Structure formats: structure tokens, C-alpha cells
Amino acid sequence: MLESCDRMMLVWRLREAIKPPIFHWSLTAFQRIQRDSLYRWLDFGWGNVGWSADPGYLHAVTEYAQRTEGPILECGSGLTSLLLGVVAPGRTISLEHTPKWKTIVESSAAKYSIPVDIRSTNLVSYGDFEWYSLPEDIKKIKFSLVICDGPPSETHGGRYGLMPAARELLNDDCVILMDDAEREDERRIIEQWRVSFDLQSEVRETGKEKHAILRFRRSPVVSASWKLRRL
């Protein structure tokens, strides 16, 4: 039994030891060639188990970022912030409520000379939900793409606050990429957005996980009852 535990510990240590060089190799390669096969290595090397986006979502984020010409709003920073800095330099503003995590992501970006713009924000109450406080200087920007991977699920209302708090910042052609669409809370939020904000959604499955692609319908009619909805 002891020998088995020792072997398991050795395997775990080896996995942890190879993550930094794998991440260095894969991110450096991504900066040069941006090959699809790198996403799983980036995800493994980044090593933020349980929180990091899966390779399929990483692919979708970079694909849509390259298609989009306008500004990009990211809710929650991480590996996606680095990839957006590579494929859409100078066009992404990321909202982050955890100072320590913001420092970690910025340090990784600086190491690889990747431009990121991560804003320190607090999670504040909007009444029926909590969401990020919005920096004044972004309130006049019209975003063309939203990467919705925050705030954390334990936040009151989860990710619901994006639409009621920031709808006016999104242009009518904006695309919203919602991670973790396999989870019940996210499915409920998507349905509430669909009804209250006249959105259409498409869910894509990538292995064990799913993400949603949401767009405004051509008729920009928004229900007046959204302010009264509770999760």
C-alpha cells in the first residue's frame, strides 16, 4: 500500500514538473503559428485545474476574436486573456475581481511580452444579483465580442448580470461566448437572457463540456420585465 502511494505521488510530481515547460513551449508556438493542436497543451500547461477553459472553448474564443474587428470584453481573466492578447492585441478589456489572480495573469503575460488590459473590479450588488463594477472609461465603448467566463458560480446570480448591467455596452451584432453551458445554472441564465433580451443561442459540445454562442436577434426588442426577474 505504501509503495502504491509513493508511486502515485511520484506520478503527480512528474506531471506538475512538466507543466511549466509544456506551457512555455505551447504558448511560444501559439504566438508563432497558432495551430489548433496546441490548445490541449496550453490547457494542460496552464494547470488551473477546475477553473481553466477547456480546449474547445479556447479554440472558439480565439476563432471569434480573429473574426471580430471591434473591442472585446472578457468577464474573468485567465489563459483566455493571454490568447486574446496574441490574436487580438490591444482590443480586449478583461474584468477581474481577485487581485492575486490578476497579478498572476499579468505576470504570465509580461513574461511572454503579450499585451493585456486587465481591470481590477469589485463584485457589487445590483439588487437581485451581483456583478462586476464597471470602470467609467469603458462605459462608452461598444463591444463586438464578449467572453463570458465569470464571475464565479457562487456569486449571487452567477453570470446573469452581464446582460442587465452591460447590455448598453454591446453593439447589436455582438457575439457572446458563454463557457460551461453544460451546467444547470448557466442553462437557466441563457434561457433568461433569451426571453428577456431577445437572444438566440447555439450550444456546442466539446468532449465533456459545452459552450454557448449567443447573438441578438435582428429585431432588438427587449422585455421591460428584465429588471424584476430573479434567479
* CATH number at 48-228: 3.40.50.150
Q: Which residues of the chain have pLDDT under 50?
A: 2, 219-231
Residue with cell 490568447: 83
Domain ranges of the chain: 1-47, 48-228
What is d(CA 148, CA 25) in angstroms, rounded to the nearest whole number? 27
Positions of E strands within 130-188: 130-132, 143-148, 170-179
Chain segment 53-103, per-residue pLDDT in tens? 678 899 999 999 999 999 999 999 999 999 999 999 999 999 999 999 999
- d(CA 179, CA 171) in angstroms, rounded, equals 21
pLDDT score for 3:
64
Kindly report the pTM of this predicted structure.
Answer: 0.84
Q: Which amino acid is at 146?
A: V
User: What is the per-residue pLDDT for 165?
Assistant: 96
